[in-house]
Amino acid sequence: MSAAPAQRKLAADEAAFLKEKPLSDVLAVLNGGGEESRVVGGAVRNLLLGLPLHEIDLATTATPKTIIDRVAAAGFKAVPTGIEHGTITVVAEGKPFEVTTLREDVETDGRHAVVRFGRDWKKDAERRDFTINAMSLTEDGAVHDYCGGLADIEARRVRFIGEADRRIAEDYLRVLRFFRFFAAYGEGEPDREGYLACARARPKLGALSRERIRAEILKTLAARRAADAMTAMADAGIYDAVFANAPELPALSRLVLIEQSLEIETDAVRRLAAVAVRIDEDALHLRERFRLSNEEYRRLYSMADRWWRLTPSSGEAYAKETLYRIGPEEYADRALISFAHADASLADGKWSAMLSLPSRWSAPKFPLSADDFIKRGVEKGPKLGRALASAEAAWIAADFPEDAAALQKIADGAAR
């Protein structure tokens, strides 16, 4: 039997989602007959913090076979997504719920764990990473806390369960998860014990796959306190171990403030560029180090491409040419990176005008074609290509004219 946990009874409105279908149906199917199932993990944490519930995971005393049998009998779908670790994804009315049998760790090596199934809620809670992730919620609206999560929720503190070094040794990814959860949910300084344990474990990060590191870093950068987390990582020597380049912490901090000031949606890849990219070689370095997707790399490379030239002092003509050549999305990325590195007030009118250019001006399509030059006697091949490029440059320099006389003059000049 588990020791009596700390408890908190949810108010009726807080617990209302437990009565909503299909969650209520899934709980009804899994409970009874000597078995108990609860909502666990991030859903309980977010509920107590007043944040949206994105995914609802369940833990249960039932074995995977019992889960599958009960779910099938109820007409729901059971997908054995992690059956070797006791996890079955139950799909009810098109909504997935990850259901995991209570577990105890038998053996860990820092990357993988051997587990056995159990029926002890306290032992299952104690094998999790942080106190705020280890609470469970019964269908009657009672929160069960075996590890001090309720107090840490109140303090907005991210704290390892038990000995921090031991928790980290079970899975070294928890070093990065510590800073990610701090960025998302923490206040004040990081928990000192956890912070020092993460610093001690930084040599072990090389054992992690690049894909797992990438996922944690991007989630950290997308979080509310990304700049504070990256600063803490740098102070602990973890940033260097992960990125292997010098951080641009002031640029990241300014970008976060710019996003808040201008009500711009948070973008993890743009924040990655702010903190870790100054030239195109940095983008290439990160692609290899984190196994970035082609799209993520393309955006980083575009932001690295002479961002320092896109400033109010370069003039609106240059800004328009940049917008014309790379499009509004990449223009916005590059302009924000340039502003993040600038020594200017967030309310600077010239920067505001430059950032707002895509909303004030739509780049037209180049109105001349190869036929316009072939008719003027330009041969196909390299000469035709040079004529088109020359005409486009002249058209841009003339501020994108659309009237026929100006276009004829440009075409005649380029043809000559």
| Domain locations along the chain | 1-155, 162-241, 244-363, 370-415
- Residue 126 pLDDT greater than 50, yes or no: yes
Alpha-carbon span 210 to 214, nearest angstrom: 6
- Residue 327 pLDDT greater than 90, yes or no: yes
Phi-psi sector, 6: left (phi>0), alpha (psi -120 to 50), beta: beta
Asked if 300 and 324 count as a contact pair (C-beta separation under 8 A), the reply is: no
Helices and strands: H and E segment counts in the chain = 21, 10
Per-residue pLDDT of 162-220, as tens digits, reads 999 999 999 999 999 999 999 999 999 999 999 999 999 999 999 999 999 999 999 99
Structure tokens at 96: 């997935």
Give the lowest-confidence range in 112-116, 236-240, 367-371, 393-397: 112-116
Task: Give me the pLDDT at residue 212, please.
Answer: 96
Per-residue pLDDT of 48-69, as tens digits, reads 999 999 899 999 999 999 999 9
Alpha-carbon span 285 to 277, nearest angstrom: 9
Task: Give me the pLDDT at residue 82, please.
Answer: 86
Per-residue pLDDT of 141-155, as tens digits, reads 999 999 999 999 999
Give the up-direction half-sphere exposure of residue 186: CA atoms within 13 A in the CB hemisphere. Answer: 27
Strand partners, 142: 9
Indicate the average pLDDT of the chain: 94
Tell whether the torsion through CA atoms of 203, 291, 219 and 249 is positive or negative. positive
Per-residue pLDDT of 207-249, as tens digits, reads 999 999 999 999 999 999 999 999 999 999 999 999 999 999 9
Alpha-carbon span 308 to 330, nearest angstrom: 14
Residue from 359, 350, 355 nearest 258 by CA: 355
Alpha-carbon span 198 to 175, nearest angstrom: 5
Neighbour tally for 363: CB within 10 Å:
19
Task: Using alpha carbons only, give the angle 353, 277, 201 rounded to the nearest 5 degrees.
Answer: 135
Confidence band for 108, pLDDT divided at 50, 70 and 90: low
Confidence band for 112, pLDDT divided at 50, 70 and 90: low
Tell whether the torsion through CA atoms of 71, 19, 43 and 8 is positive or negative. negative
- Residue 121 pLDDT greater than 50, yes or no: yes
Residue type, 152: D
- Residue 107 pLDDT greater than 70, yes or no: no
Q: Mean pLDDT over residues 8-31, rounded?
A: 95
Asked if 284 and 305 count as a contact pair (C-beta separation under 8 A), the reply is: no
Per-residue pLDDT of 262-321, as tens digits, reads 999 999 999 999 999 999 999 999 999 999 999 999 999 999 999 999 999 999 999 999
Q: Mean pLDDT over residues 370-396, rounded?
A: 94
Task: Give me the pLDDT at residue 113, please.
Answer: 60
- Residue 111 pLDDT greater than 60, yes or no: no
Asked if 95 and 17 count as a contact pair (C-beta separation under 8 A), the reply is: no
Alpha-carbon span 106 to 307, nearest angstrom: 52
Confidence band for 114, pLDDT divided at 50, 70 and 90: low
Q: Please list the helix, strand and coil fractions of the chain in percent, rounded to the nearest 5, in that order.
A: 55, 15, 30
Asked if 7 and 102 count as a contact pair (C-beta separation under 8 A), the reply is: no
Per-residue pLDDT of 242-263, as tens digits, reads 999 999 999 999 999 999 999 9
SS3 165: helix
Task: Give Cα 225 distance to the centre of its chain.
Answer: 12
Q: Is CATH 1.10.3090.10 the right assignment for the domain spanning 162-241? A: yes
Confidence band for 3, pLDDT divided at 50, 70 and 90: low
- Residue 2 pLDDT greater than 60, yes or no: no
- Residue 334 pLDDT greater than 60, yes or no: yes
Classify 1-155 by CATH class. Answer: alpha beta
- Residue 1 pLDDT greater than 50, yes or no: no
CA dihedral 108, 114, 117, 121 (to 10 degrees): 20
Asked if 71 and 77 count as a contact pair (C-beta separation under 8 A), the reply is: yes
Alpha-carbon span 205 to 201, nearest angstrom: 7
Alpha-carbon span 62 to 35, nearest angstrom: 6
